[in-house]
Chain A
Amino acid sequence: GAGVSQSPRYKVAKRGQDVALRCDPISGHVSLFWYQQALGQGPEFLTYFQNEAQLDKSGLPSDRFFAERPEGSVSTLKIQRTQQEDSAVYLCASRDGRHQATEQFFGPGTRLTVL
């Protein structure tokens, strides 16, 4: 089947604009993760969903960041009033099941550039 898909692949926003990034996980995957990857760094955890429940949002850097997964499949990461420091690649990952010993499958990411 298809892997994790993300859209758009590239997004350029002016400082202060709101953006919405979409993630389509692998069908049937219970767990969904968002990560932020700054240039030259590894992915950093933002938030975690189990079905439609957001169980952990401890990695969201500010209250300008908001994520949802209302029907337990597609997820949207929204960033309000974007700042230059929000420029990064945003990665979505999904996993079949809840156990840590099952690898996460990553999408290609959305590269956000805030001017």
Chain B
Amino acid sequence: DQQVKQNSPSLSVQEGRISILNCDYTNSMFDYFLWYKKYPAEGPTFLISISSIKDKNEDGRFTVFLNKSAKHLSLHIVPSQPGDSAVYFCAASYSGTYKYIFGTGTRLKVLA
């Protein structure tokens, strides 16, 4: 039973345009969400997070939006750069636990 879902396995975007990566979750107890980026042969690297008390968090070119009623979050990258090409994982957690539940990832390719 996949509690965190990333339904798009891949996404291609032109350099300079917006990349939107989506993530859905089923467990209403989740109250903390993260995005990780992964390059080949490297471990995942933390990108941005959001607590359920917020609906938006911004860090430079990266913004995460949380829609609790829809159990949906998205990562916006503006403007997209070729160096953003990687696999992006959405992860979720809830108070009282310490483990993250990861989605299956979306491979983003930014075309120059």
A56 B99 Cβ-Cβ under 8 A: yes
Residues of A within 8 A of B41 (CB): 108
A103 B34 Cβ-Cβ under 8 A: yes
> Which of these binds chain A: B58-66, B68-76, B77-85, B90-98?
B90-98
A106 B45 Cβ-Cβ under 8 A: yes
B98 A43 Cβ-Cβ under 8 A: no
Chain B's interface size range is 20 to 34
Residues of B within 8 A of A44 (CB): 102
A43 B102 Cβ-Cβ under 8 A: yes
The residue in chain A whose Cβ has the minimal distance to the Cβ of B6 is A42
A42 B104 Cβ-Cβ under 8 A: yes
B97 A43 Cβ-Cβ under 8 A: no
Whether A100 contacts B98 in the complex (CB less than 8 A), given A41-B104, A42-B105, comes out as yes
Q: Is B49 an interface residue, CB under 8 A from the partner?
A: yes
The residue in chain A whose Cβ has the minimal distance to the Cβ of B47 is A103
Residues in chain B within 8 A of chain A (CB atoms): 4, 6, 32, 34, 36, 41-46, 49, 51, 89, 91, 93-95, 97-105
Residues in chain A within 8 A of chain B (CB atoms): 4, 31, 33, 35, 40-45, 48, 56, 59, 91, 93, 98, 100-101, 103-109
